[in-house]
């Protein structure tokens, strides 16, 4: 298991390099001048040119990236062009809000989706068709539209949950939970239906295998066959889907955090893009990439636990 973790971590290094390079390239192509954004539209062109040189934006792009990468390796992601504050100091306090959104949403998708998928596979009939229908609806409904509907119903009309804002867990666990109910519901609907559909298909495949028939012939209970043996075999593709879903929720977090006013990485990245704050936006991309690497590592560890053959590869 240790060799598996070390190998996956080593694969994360070139992934970080590639993502950082292409994000640096794409951000540089965004229309607008960071120096002009800092000084304002009425600033004289001479001041803009001077600040442009001070920021190092007049240097060739490969030189700019090499300079940034050298600092990033030492843990320095630069300073915000707008506020002058260290990027790490701006983004690290935003990390708990994003994780508080992504982790509960993934757990909700896993628990509810697996329960629905197993039940529909075992019982079939109406429940199976219902899961298929919910899967289509969940994938078709945009998360931002669902977020607006949830705010309209549960925050404005019935006043059950706050419409915007975020309370840290250390300040008040109850208010922390209340501030996350609507955002988590908004981003997890599509994830729940995707997990339910994958679980149902994987369970049907597992229940039709020969080892299940042998167990039935040997008199094993239905509960033991379904939950101790078939579900373990069906869980491998489900775990892979959960890993993809968790990573994709980072993209949904950009919109949902802005709708609900959550001070997370997504809203910080959106603000940095509007202000053309290249160091802050580049730092947010690095944070997102690190989260994806950790998610991939967790998925690989779960695969190794579920399938011993993976540990020997």
- Provide the CATH number for the domain around residue 107: 1.10.3720.10
Give the pLDDT band of residue 98 (cuts 50, 70, 90): very high
In this structure, the dihedral spanned by the alpha carbons of residues 157, 162, 163 and 167, taken in order and rounded to 10 degrees, is 180
Instruction: Name which of 251, 260, 245 is nearest 188 in CA terms.
Output: 245
Q: How confident is the model at residue 149 (pLDDT cuts 50, 70, 90)?
A: very high
Assigned domain for 66 exists: no
Give the dihedral sign, CA 288/289/294/297: positive
- Domain containing 104 equals 97-311
Does any domain span residue 183? yes
Confidence at 101, pLDDT banded by 50, 70, 90: very high
Closest by alpha carbon to 205, among 243, 231, 240?
A: 231
Q: What is the pLDDT of residue 1?
A: 65
The answer to whether position 8 is within a domain reads no
User: pLDDT grade, residue 268 (50/70/90)?
Assistant: very high
Assign 174 a pLDDT band (cuts: 50, 70, 90). Answer: very high
Reported pTM: 0.88
Give me the helix-helix angle, 278-306 and 231-260, nearest 10°. Answer: 160
pLDDT at 40 over 90: no
pLDDT score for 311: 58
pLDDT level of residue 141 (50, 70, 90 thresholds): confident
Q: List all residues 6 or more positions away from 1 whose beta carbon is below 8 Å from its beta carbon.
A: 301, 304, 311
State the alpha helices, DSSP H only, in the chain: 2-28, 34-39, 45-54, 61-73, 87-91, 95-123, 125-140, 143-150, 173-207, 210-217, 222-224, 231-260, 265-275, 278-306, 308-311
CB-CB contact of 199 with 234 (8 Å):
yes
Domain assignment present for 60: no
- Give a yes or no: residue 126 inside a domain: yes
236 in Cβ contact with 306 (< 8 Å): yes
CA distance 73 to 20: 12
Question: 79 — phi, psi (to 5°)?
Answer: -120, 150
The answer to whether position 264 is within a domain reads yes
Rounded average pLDDT over 25-49: 78
Number of domains in the chain: 1
The region of weakest confidence among 3-7, 198-202, 268-272 is 3-7
pLDDT tens digits, one per residue of 52-66: 787 777 788 888 888
Reading phi first (left if > 0) and then psi (alpha if -120 to 50, else beta), residue 169 is in alpha
pLDDT tens sequence across 157-171 = 898 999 999 999 999
**What would the mean pLDDT of 297-302 be, rounded to a whole number?**
88
Residue 24 within any structural domain of the chain: no
278 in a domain, yes or no? yes
Q: Give the pLDDT band (50/70/90) at residue 312.
A: low
């Amino acid at each position: 298991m240790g060799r598996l973790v070390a190998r996956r971590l080593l694969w994360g290094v070139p992934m970080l390099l590639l993502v950082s390079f292409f994000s640096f390239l794409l951000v540089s192509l965004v229309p607008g001048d960071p120096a002009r954004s800092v000084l304002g539209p009425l600033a004289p062109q001479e001041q803009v040119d001077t600040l442009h040189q001070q920021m190092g934006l007049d240097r060739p792009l490969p030189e700019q990236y090499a300079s940034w990468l050298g600092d990033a390796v030492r843990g320095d992601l630069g300073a915000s062009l707008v506020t002058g504050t260290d990027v790490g100091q701006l983004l690290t306090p935003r990390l708990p809000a994003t994780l508080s959104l992504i982790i509960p949403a993934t757990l909700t998708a896993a628990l509810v989706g697996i329960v629905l998928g197993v039940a529909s596979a075992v019982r079939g009939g109406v429940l199976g068709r219902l899961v298929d229908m919910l899967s289509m609806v969940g994938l078709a409904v945009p998360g931002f539209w669902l977020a607006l509907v949830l705010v309209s119903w549960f925050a404005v009309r019935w006043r059950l949950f706050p419409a915007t804002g975020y309370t840290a867990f250390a300040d008040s666990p109850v208010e922390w939970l209340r501030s996350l109910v609507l955002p988590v519901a908004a981003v997890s609907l599509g994830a729940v239906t995707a997990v339910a559909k994958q679980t149902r298909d994987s369970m049907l495949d597992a229940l039709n295998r020969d080892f299940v028939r042998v167990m039935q012939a040997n008199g094993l209970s239905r509960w033991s066959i379904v939950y101790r043996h078939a579900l373990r075999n069906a869980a491998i593709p489900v775990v892979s889907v959960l890993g993809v879903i968790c990573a994709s929720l980072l993209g949904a977090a950009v919109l949902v955090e802005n709708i609900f006013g959550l001070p997370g990485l997504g809203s910080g990245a959106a603000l940095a893009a509007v202000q053309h704050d290249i160091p802050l936006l580049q730092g947010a991309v690095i944070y997102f990439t690190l989260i994806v690497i950790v998610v991939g590592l967790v998925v690989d560890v779960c695969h190794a636990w579920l399938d011993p053959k993976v540990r020997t590869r």
